Structure 1
Amino acid sequence: MRSYALLTLVAPLVLALPAPAPAPLPFPSPQTNNQETNVLTGLLAGLGGAVVNLGSILDAIPAVLGDLGTALEAADEVVSAIENGTILGTDVPAVVQKLFKAAKPTASPTTLTDAVNLEAKAWGATNPSQAPPTSQNILGNVLGLLLNGVNNADITSIANGFAMNVPLSNNKAASPNFYKIQTLLGNAPFSVPESQLLQAIYIPPEFTGQKQPIIFVPGTGTIGSTNFQPNIGKLLSQSTIGDPVYLQIPNNLLGDIQTSAEYVSYAIQYINQLTSKKPAVITWSQGSLVSQWAFKYWKTTRAMVTDLISISPDFDGTILALLLCPGFASGNAFACTEAVFQQVYNSNFITTLKSNNGDSAYVPTTTVYTATDEIVQPQIGNSASGFISDARGVGTSNTFLQGACLALPAGTLYGHAGVLINPTAYALVVDALTHDGPGDFNRVTASCVDVVAPGIGIGDVLATEALIPEAALNILSYLPKVAAEPAIRAYAGVYGQS
């Protein structure tokens, strides 16, 4: 398989702990369909970078890609063509969408363990104590997931060229209008119109108003409801603990993270005033960065929440970010999105966030992360990008699954999205919401013996793992791309000093 990894680890990520439990069975391969043709064979070969007509490329892709080998070959060809300029950047969305539409499931897991392992196995993870290989073709990996039954309605919608099904709200502004008095309170100013900030706060019909409100902040390339309704949101909505509220941030969090943070800041203040209750904030992936930025530069939000609970966070960014941008290194016009650039390990955005103890918690914070994360690395122990410090003494807990649940089911092969259905992760969510301060692993050790959180089925696992191909499809389809991360906002030099 052709590799387009742009960064490598500076040191091997090896967990210095006793040998873990044996890895599950290998990633299953779908059955071969002998009537399929080799994708793009001969069309792109030997063209030396000459641009090929988009229609010809699309015509060369079969209507059905039901064979894993053929799908991986197609992914290699497409990535190579993007890198050498044979496929123009503006044509990439159509080509990628056609590949996703053609990838028809030919296998499906029959056990929870098999379903949980699909994500990490697709990236070649075989040892729970080590990160997946850093040299990857992410397009091929996500096609493999689709062939193995990992899919959802949003992937189909995006592949057909339609926007995700985003439920929006007709919320009315709260009073007094805190939108207009931000800077008087020592907060950064808003740049997004209040009507847009309001519309992004999706309060589902099952919201009772009697339980603690939980604001869910999604990860790169997705939206709050899709991100959390098959997992933590589902479980909390059925409990007596929390009332989910989902943020549907425009552009699927692919734009400037500084703008996305305004939606989090506003939602915290709005829900706090609407319910007269302090919400908790639960995040996945980039959502953790967005929320930490909001706490840093909108200081009044800190006293309005009880907890930040971060699943698979990347507080330091990730050395694998540019895997999502094939062609960038070779100078192809198809570059990347603002948010992906900002999540490059120690980018300007990350460096600014971490300054003045921004790498420490502003509110009681619980983090959970996995060594076999295929998107965020490094993610091992205290050197993990998911680890947060506690310089302010507000209370933090950092749970590294393979260390905490060593040689037990909850400490095996969980990918970036898989932590959302991990039993220990959910136990820590509940523990944090029902106790003062962060979640405490010592109170939930019994959770390590399970494979998924109680109440999660195979369908929920597959819908959760579909977040990875969904995000990849959104990132690759998103236009226009940019060539560098956006500038740091001027307010960063004025606010956020404590």
Structure 2
Amino acid sequence: MNERRLPIHKLIRSTVVAATTAVALAFAPVTAAFADQGPLYAPVDQPGPALSVPQNLLGASLECSANVSGASRDVVLLIPGTTLTPETNFDGNWFQALDKLNWPYCSVTLPENAMNDIQVSAEYIVNAIRQVNAASGRKVDLLGFSQGGLAPRFALRFWPDTRAMVDDYVALGATNHGSLTVDGMCAAGCAPALQQQRLNSAFTQATNSYQETFAGISYTDIYSHTDQFVTPNLNDSGTTSMHGGGGSITNVALQDVCPLNAADHLATGTYDPVAYALAIDALSHDGPADPDRVPASTCTKLFMPGVDPMTFPGKYVDLWNNVLAQLVAYPHVGTEPALKPYVYAQP
């Protein structure tokens, strides 16, 4: 383990951990405005349920840099994509880049390489937000790749207490409304988490129900026109982009900044310098990213900071092999997991 990344229980007392897993204060009742909007999803202010995953598993999933306790700036929480862990997704790029900036950060390992029910993965993210906020005394900046952009939005949607703990949401190639490509991948069955990332799946419809963003959070959705896995993403009405709600939003393609950029899905979430520049801009300023602040020189770079050009080729081949092996080997199912009862309005 990198000495800068420590189990969270080393950073906060057990009494604080227990307190932060409790459901927050009650919220206002459902309004009549929701009555004619299709399925009776939970109103956006319905308190979230107690977490069903045992606390020892939740705690073990979270690792943080040593400077999280008493942090001088908001803490970045890194959330990996489908088939990935924090190490396969962020070691060799984001971990090293944030170390160089001396920014505090944490990462959360989602169960079974983020291949099973995203509703369960969301509980790990809820716990991570609460614990990091308690340990640092600061708000949390969410930075997720692919499913790592979608899953925290489900957490924010159905555990409203977490919203006040989050400042920035930054997504890299997120499947916010699912993906048409995944529909094809799942035609003969696929992993549960992939079923949930089909275009406009029941899971994504629930995630986006009533409003897609929340006041007090700045949203930056970064995507690529040449993403082969997250489609369609040809403009800001594509699957990654978000619209409506209470947050401030920037939906931006890599090609909006550098027209000749050809990053695919995995590149967007691991080494692309334009994606990095946009994400860092969002995390360095109030509000979401402003593409006009990204230097033109970014377009001439091959890699984001933290990437070692000498070891990159071998590591990238290993990364692709890992992704493909997970997609093939993980048990396939024919339908997505049923939505949990708390997704719906409670009597």
Same fold judged by TM-score > 0.5? yes
What TM-score do you get using the length of structure 1 for normalisation? Answer: 0.59
Match of 1:294 among 144, 152, 155: 155
Residue 423 of structure 1, CA deviation: 1.6
Match of 2:302 among 427, 442, 451: 451
Q: Does 1:382 align with 2:253?
A: no
Q: Does 1:201 align with 2:62?
A: yes
Gaps of 5+ in 1: 1-166, 330-334
Residue 471 of structure 1, CA deviation: 2.2
SS of structure 2 residue aligned to 1:203: strand
- Residue 421 of structure 1 aligns with which residue? 271
Q: Does 1:369 align with 2:231?
A: no
- Residue 264 of structure 1 aligns with which residue? 125
Residue 466 of structure 1, CA deviation: 4.3
Using a 3 Å threshold, how does the CA distance of structure 1 residues 183 and 345 change in structure 2: closer, same or farther? Answer: farther
Q: Distance in 2 between matches of 1:478 and 1:291?
A: 23
Q: Does 1:178 align with 2:28?
A: no
Residue 195 of structure 1, CA deviation: 1.5
Asked if the contact 2:23/2:161 (under 8 Å) is kept, the reply is no
Residue 306 of structure 1, CA deviation: 1.4
Q: Distance in 2 between matches of 1:463 and 1:259?
A: 29
Deviations 1:322-356 (A, max 9, x none): 4545xx53xxxxx3211010001111111111220
| Number of residue equivalences | 314
Q: Does 1:188 align with 2:42?
A: no
Match of 2:97 among 228, 235, 238: 235
Deviations 1:388-417 (A, max 9, x none): 12431x21111111233114xxx2x21111
Using a 3 Å threshold, how does the CA distance of structure 1 residues 208 and 386 change in structure 2: closer, same or farther? Answer: same
SS of structure 1 residue aligned to 2:220: strand
Asked if the contact 1:168/1:200 (under 8 Å) is kept, the reply is no
Q: Does 1:404 align with 2:265?
A: no
Residue 430 of structure 1, CA deviation: 1.7
- Residue 474 of structure 1 aligns with which residue? 326
Residue 489 of structure 1, CA deviation: 0.9
Q: Distance in 1 between matches of 2:194 and 2:293?
A: 36
Q: Does 1:430 align with 2:280?
A: yes
Q: Distance in 2 between matches of 1:168 and 1:248?
A: 13
Residue 201 of structure 1, CA deviation: 0.5
Asked if the contact 1:324/1:476 (under 8 Å) is kept, the reply is no
Q: Distance in 1 between matches of 2:23 and 2:306?
A: 43
Q: Distance in 1 between matches of 2:220 and 2:236?
A: 14
Residue 429 of structure 1, CA deviation: 1.9
The one-letter amino acid paired with 1:444 is: V
Q: Does 1:351 align with 2:205?
A: yes
Q: Distance in 2 between matches of 1:400 and 1:229?
A: 24
Residue 463 of structure 1, CA deviation: 3.0
Asked if the contact 1:417/1:465 (under 8 Å) is kept, the reply is no
Asked if the contact 1:219/1:285 (under 8 Å) is kept, the reply is yes
What TM-score do you get using the length of structure 2 for normalisation? Answer: 0.83
Deviations 1:113-158 (A, max 9, x none): xxxxxxxxxxxxxxxxxxxxxxxxxxxxxxxxxxxxxxxxxxxxxx
The one-letter amino acid paired with 1:235 is: A
- When the two chains are superposed, the root-mean-square deviation of aligned CA atoms in Å is 2.4
Deviations 1:300-326 (A, max 9, x none): 11111210110111111111114545x
- Residue 440 of structure 1 aligns with which residue? 290
- Residue 32 of structure 2 aligns with which residue? none
Q: Distance in 1 between matches of 2:319 and 2:24?
A: 34
SS of structure 2 residue aligned to 1:214: strand
- Residue 221 of structure 1 aligns with which residue? 83
Percent of pairs with identical residues: 28
Asked if the contact 1:280/1:306 (under 8 Å) is kept, the reply is yes
The one-letter amino acid paired with 1:177 is: A
- Residue 56 of structure 1 aligns with which residue? none
Query: Which structure: larger Rg?
Result: 1
Match of 2:196 among 325, 342, 361: 342
SS of structure 2 residue aligned to 1:215: strand
Residue 189 of structure 1, CA deviation: 2.6
Residue 251 of structure 1, CA deviation: 0.6
Moved more, 221-230 or 463-472: 463-472
Q: Distance in 2 between matches of 1:216 and 1:418?
A: 16
Asked if the contact 1:206/1:237 (under 8 Å) is kept, the reply is no
The one-letter amino acid paired with 1:476 is: V
SS of structure 2 residue aligned to 1:317: coil
The one-letter amino acid paired with 2:132 is: I
The one-letter amino acid paired with 1:426 is: Y
Gaps of 5+ in 2: 28-46
Using a 3 Å threshold, how does the CA distance of structure 1 residues 266 and 231 change in structure 2: closer, same or farther? Answer: same
SS of structure 2 residue aligned to 1:391: coil
Using a 3 Å threshold, how does the CA distance of structure 1 residues 287 and 414 change in structure 2: closer, same or farther? Answer: same
Q: Distance in 2 between matches of 1:188 and 1:231?
A: 35
Asked if the contact 1:312/1:386 (under 8 Å) is kept, the reply is yes
Greater strand proportion? 2
Q: Distance in 2 between matches of 1:300 and 1:168?
A: 26
Q: Does 1:245 align with 2:106?
A: yes
